[in-house]
């Protein structure tokens, strides 16, 4: 084991040197640094432990290094003033209040700091994203990088799932690649290279963005690569065994059919699902049936996992009501629902603000997509971001991602991308409304053509 760790550390050092050299030689340091940040999201649970409870990941180190570059770039370019979403500013006081001493909160300072840090990361990420994407031409490499990371995570999970012996070829980089068996007999991939099956959270966020790659690069070889990437991501979602991710993908697909009016595609997929269900393995069908029980409102009868999560949610809700002002950072533990966790730790008002922030952002995205003045390309990008943002809400509601930086950063990134798209779109739409009435409703958004 020591030898394996030695090789891993040597490779990590060499990789860090190579990345630093490439970054210093780059002519577009902020853009390339942002792409590096996205790439490091694929490193998963590879952390540096500062204390037993406070562990940092490479992505957050890159992000904090990018913040001063973004501020300098913003000052030099003289663009729109940087600003954070109103909900972030509204929650700042509650982040401070959550540090007040509480006799009921006996967690050490590093555990509290770890959770506080996961929320604080939203500040540099929103600021850096808004500066990077001021140039519409940077949307393509950003979307491509996020999608590539998703494909990488899914591919490595599939590799060790199908060929567990691959762990011997990558000593020190994979743990136990053997699938774990759920209560219903379904064998779930461990994604040990990433560190956890939660790696598919990135897949469900990035998968809708593959639609943009399909249209941005229309050549036959490029579309073949995109199709393979989508297939790998879908296979990764399947072997992860996350029923919530299966359901979430189905919801995303249904919304895509409606928003893009691809009803023939939806009908074909529905027919294929009915025909293909009988060919699924027995374990898969039983897992889908357990999901059906959850959807019927009785998760306690679905399986042990569903019962535990339901009990945890009801206990935390009561915990939040017992002290509306909040119990402090980390007090509730991992609830598997960020809205409830915020309400319990930071207070009911903070929980309402957080839930309201997501709901309002989702509604704004939906309303923006109804604007006829958007170009076809801009509207299509908005649809992809809307589908990804639907996944953000589902994960915040049912998974609980703000407990770890590696799970919350992809969520904050998706939220930042959506906010940036709406901000740029709002400016163009407002200007378009001042044009002649006969032009309004046509594709007249050249600033967001993303060429």
Could you write out the DSSP letters of every residue in 336-372?
S-HHHHHHHHH-HHHHHHHHHHHHHHHHHHHHHHT-T
Tokens of 223: 């579309």
* pTM for the predicted model, two decimal places: 0.89
| CA–CA dist 214, 277 (Å, integer) | 28
Q: What is the model's pLDDT at position 101?
A: 73
H helices of 81-183, in order, are 86-97, 109-120, 122-132, 139-162, 166-169
Q: What is the model's pLDDT at position 331?
A: 87
Say if residues 287 and 302 touch (Cβ distance below 8 Å).
no
Q: Work out the angle at residue 386's Cα, subtended by the Cα atoms of residues 382 and 389, and round it to the nearest 5 degrees.
A: 135
Q: What is the model's pLDDT at position 313?
A: 85
Say if residues 153 and 235 touch (Cβ distance below 8 Å).
no
Say if residues 252 and 390 touch (Cβ distance below 8 Å).
yes
Q: What is the model's pLDDT at position 296?
A: 64
How confident is the prediction along the chain (451 residues), in pLDDT tens digits per residue? Answer: 333 455 555 555 556 666 666 666 667 788 888 999 999 999 888 888 888 889 989 899 899 989 998 888 766 666 667 788 999 999 999 999 988 876 666 788 888 999 999 999 999 999 999 999 988 888 999 999 999 999 999 999 999 898 887 777 766 677 777 788 777 778 888 898 898 889 999 999 999 999 898 889 989 999 999 999 999 999 999 999 888 899 999 999 999 999 888 888 889 888 888 888 878 888 787 787 777 766 666 555 455 666 777 788 888 888 889 888 888 898 888 888 999 999 999 999 999 999 999 999 999 999 888 877 778 888 899 999 999 999 999 999 988 898 899 999 999 999 999 999 998 887 655 655 555 444 444 443 444 444 3
Instruction: Give bridge partners of residue 180 from the DSSP assignment.
Output: 188
Three-state secondary-structure class, residue 170: coil
Tokens of 336: 């598997």
| CA–CA dist 247, 244 (Å, integer) | 5
**Largest CA-CA distance found in the chain, in angstroms, rounded:** 71
Say if residues 384 and 211 touch (Cβ distance below 8 Å).
yes
DSSP-assigned states of every residue in 66-84: HHHHHHHHHHHHT-SPP--
Residues 6+ apart with CB under 8 A from 200: 153, 154, 157, 191, 236, 237, 240, 242, 245
| Four-point Cα dihedral 47, 53, 54, 60, nearest 10 | 50
Q: Work out the angle at residue 327's Cα, subtended by the Cα atoms of residues 403 and 317, and round it to the nearest 5 degrees.
A: 75
């Amino acid at each position: 084991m020591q030898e394996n760790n030695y090789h891993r550390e040597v490779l990590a050092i060499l990789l860090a040197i190579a990345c630093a050299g490439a970054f210093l030689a780059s002519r577009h340091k902020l853009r390339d640094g942002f792409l590096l940040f996205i790439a490091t999201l694929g490193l998963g649970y590879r952390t540096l432990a500062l204390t037993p409870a406070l562990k940092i990941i490479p992505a957050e180190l890159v992000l904090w290094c990018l913040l001063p570059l973004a501020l300098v770039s913003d000052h030099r370019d003289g663009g729109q003033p940087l600003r954070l979403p109103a909900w972030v500013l509204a929650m700042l006081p509650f982040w401070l209040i959550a540090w007040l001493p509480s006799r009921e909160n006996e967690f050490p300072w590093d555990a509290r700091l770890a959770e506080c840090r996961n929320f604080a990361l939203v500040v540099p990420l929103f600021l850096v994203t808004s500066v990077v994407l001021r140039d519409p031409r940077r949307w393509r490499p950003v979307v491509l990088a996020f999608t590539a990371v998703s494909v990488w995570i899914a591919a490595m999970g599939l590799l060790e799932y199908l060929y567990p012996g691959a762990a011997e070829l990558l000593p020190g980089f994979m743990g136990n690649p053997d699938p774990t068996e759920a209560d219903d007999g379904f064998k779930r991939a461990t994604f040990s290279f990433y560190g956890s099956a939660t790696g598919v959270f990135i897949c469900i966020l990035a998968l809708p963005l593959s639609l943009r790659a399909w249209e941005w690069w229309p050549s036959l070889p490029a579309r073949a690569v995109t199709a393979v990437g989508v297939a790998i991501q879908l296979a990764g979602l399947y072997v992860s065994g996350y029923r919530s991710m299966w359901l979430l993908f189905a919801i995303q697909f249904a919304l895509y059919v409606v928003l893009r009016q691809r009803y023939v595609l939806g009908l074909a997929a529905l027919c294929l699902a009915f025909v293909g269900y009988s060919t699924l393995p027995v374990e898969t069908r039983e897992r889908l049936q357990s999901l059906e029980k959850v959807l019927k409102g009785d998760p306690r009868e679905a399986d042990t996992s569903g019962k535990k999560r339901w009990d945890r949610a009801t206990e935390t809700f009561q915990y939040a009501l017992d002290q509306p002002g909040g119990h402090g950072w980390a007090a509730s533990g991992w609830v598997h629902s960020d809205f409830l966790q915020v309400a319990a730790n930071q207070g009911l008002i903070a929980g309402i603000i957080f839930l309201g922030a997501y709901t309002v952002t989702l509604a704004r995205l939906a309303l923006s997509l109804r604007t006829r003045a958007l170009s076809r390309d801009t509207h299509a990008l908005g649809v992809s971001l809307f589908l990804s943002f639907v996944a953000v809400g589902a994960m915040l509601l049912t998974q609980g991602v703000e407990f770890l930086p590696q799970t919350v950063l992809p969520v904050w990134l998706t939220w930042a991308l959506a906010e940036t798209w709406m901000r740029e779109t709002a400016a163009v739409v407002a200007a378009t409304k001042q044009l002649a009435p006969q032009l309004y409703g046509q594709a007249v958004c050249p600033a967001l053509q993303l060429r």
